[in-house]
Structure 1
């Protein structure tokens, strides 16, 4: 049996997008993958992130925010950057794999009513899910 493909999802705070991506890959990728997430400046998991993932049938309430230093000795096959403000120069730990940059909206920047903010989190979740499904389909080829 092959080793699982290790994937790290990275954003600034590890409070929303990278947590969504970690949960989505765990739910959709099966035993073929090990999913991780981290932030450059970790912040607590956002309750709206937990809520919109629960709507999609994915429980992430037990996930916790982590920083890159939590993985300084870990090798990843893929590092997926989910934050337009970050690039691969922020990755100062050993890695043998590929760095991908998935662009999308930042739900934490959303303002407005609670319903409008929740809609922004749903949009981010759906964007990440589409990117993940496209990436997984490409790996299967």
Structure 2
């Protein structure tokens, strides 16, 4: 079983969405974990936008990357530039490190509609990335 870590700054939004989709698309091909270089709690907007697409992440927790010390990673995926630039060293003999920056919808200010659209756009981009990752990396 492969081990996949999805990493972002606060493990509240983008990494949680990716965690949800990776679990959704793969069928017992990997253990999926998400973490942050900080912990900000689960973002309610992320939970709501994922629920709209039939993926429940409401029971996820916001975890710090140090909580997973000792796991041998096959993949470490950073989903924001800040995490990539500030991530502590994660020792791994074999981890393939991937990076894809997704916009942070929690930073959008505006009307309820504008905020919803930002969460939806980020969710859809993450969904596509995770679908392709599972197909190209886990199902080979």
Q: TM-score, normalised by structure 1?
A: 0.91
Structure 2 residue aligned with 1:19:
16
Q: Decide whether the 8 Å contact of 2:21 with 2:131 is kept in 1.
A: no
- Cα distance, 1:106 vs structure 2: 1.2
Unmatched tracts of structure 1, length 5 or more: none
Residue of structure 1 equivalent to 2:121: 123
Match of 2:30 in 1: 33
8 Å contact 1:73–1:93 — kept in the other structure?
no
Q: Which residue of 2 aligns with 1:46?
A: 43
Q: How does 1:65-80 map to 2 (within 5 A)?
A: 65-80=62-77
Q: Secondary structure at the match of 1:87?
A: helix
- Of 8-17 and 127-136, more deviation after overlay is shown by 127-136
Task: Mark the CA change 1:53 to 1:18 in structure 2 (over 3 Å): closer, same or farther.
Answer: same
State the 1:92 CA deviation: 2.0
| 3-state SS of 1:35 partner | strand
CA shift, 1:89, in A, is: 6.0
> How many matched pairs?
138
Unaligned runs of 5+ in 2: none
1:108 aligns with 2:106: yes
Match of 2:55 in 1: 58
In 1, Cα distance between the equivalents of 2:90 and 2:98? 16
Partner Cα distance (2:37, 2:59) in 1: 20
Misfit runs of 4+, over 6 Å: none
Measured on the aligned residues, the alpha-carbon RMSD in Å equals: 1.4
